[in-house]
């Protein structure tokens, strides 16, 4: 009746593609796909550029390149501010970095990523309010 716990179609398709292949996609393949987008990103503008940066961020995130994914998603938001893939990606990645910092006992990095999360949430609320 309710779809509270169902995954979005895109997530199901990605999982299905990985399952169909019988193995996870290779790290080097994902990184080369992400790097192949750089030339297109450099020539694109506005929303098109943000979409390419989102795609690059997703590929890098899947490859486990957290810092590169964060950079791509942050550039996406700076290019075209809208709630979407970049915001969702950054929430997950910032939380991952915060957890790593907490496990390492790195209070400075833990606070940095907590503050980044707070700023991201504030920004998304402002957009929804039309600010």
Q: What is the pLDDT of residue 127?
A: 80
The Cα 61–Cα 90 span in angstroms is: 10
Task: Map out the domains of the chain as residue ranges.
Answer: 10-129
pTM above 0.75, yes or no: yes
In angstroms, the Cα distances linking 36 to 21, 51, 114 are: 22, 14, 32
How does residue 124 score in pLDDT terms, banded at 50, 70 and 90? confident
Query: Mean pLDDT across the stretch 44-68?
Result: 96
Helices (H), 1-131: 9-21, 27-36, 38-43, 46-62, 66-79, 85-104, 107-129
The Cα 23–Cα 74 span in angstroms is: 30
Summarised one tens digit per residue, pLDDT across range 5-33 is 554 544 445 454 444 444 556 999 999 99
Using the predicted structure, report yes or no on whether residue 131 has a pLDDT greater than 90.
no
CB-side neighbour CA atoms (13 Å) of 85 = 20
| Token output for 53 | 């940066």
Q: What is the pLDDT of residue 110?
A: 96
CATH of span 10-129: 1.25.40
């Amino acid at each position: 009746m309710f779809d509270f716990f169902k995954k979005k179609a895109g997530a199901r398709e990605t999982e299905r593609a990985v399952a169909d292949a019988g193995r996870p996609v290779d790290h080097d393949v994902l990184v080369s796909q992400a790097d192949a987008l750089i030339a297109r990103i450099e020539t694109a503008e506005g929303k098109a550029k943000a979409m390419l940066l989102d795609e690059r961020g997703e590929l890098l995130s899947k490859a486990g390149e957290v810092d590169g994914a964060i950079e791509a998603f942050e550039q996406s938001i700076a290019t075209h501010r809208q709630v979407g893939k970049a915001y969702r990606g950054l929430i997950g990645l910032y939380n991952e970095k915060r957890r790593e910092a907490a496990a390492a006992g790195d209070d400075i990095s833990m606070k940095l990523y907590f503050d980044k999360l707070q700023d991201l949430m504030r920004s998304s609320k402002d957009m929804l309010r039309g600010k």
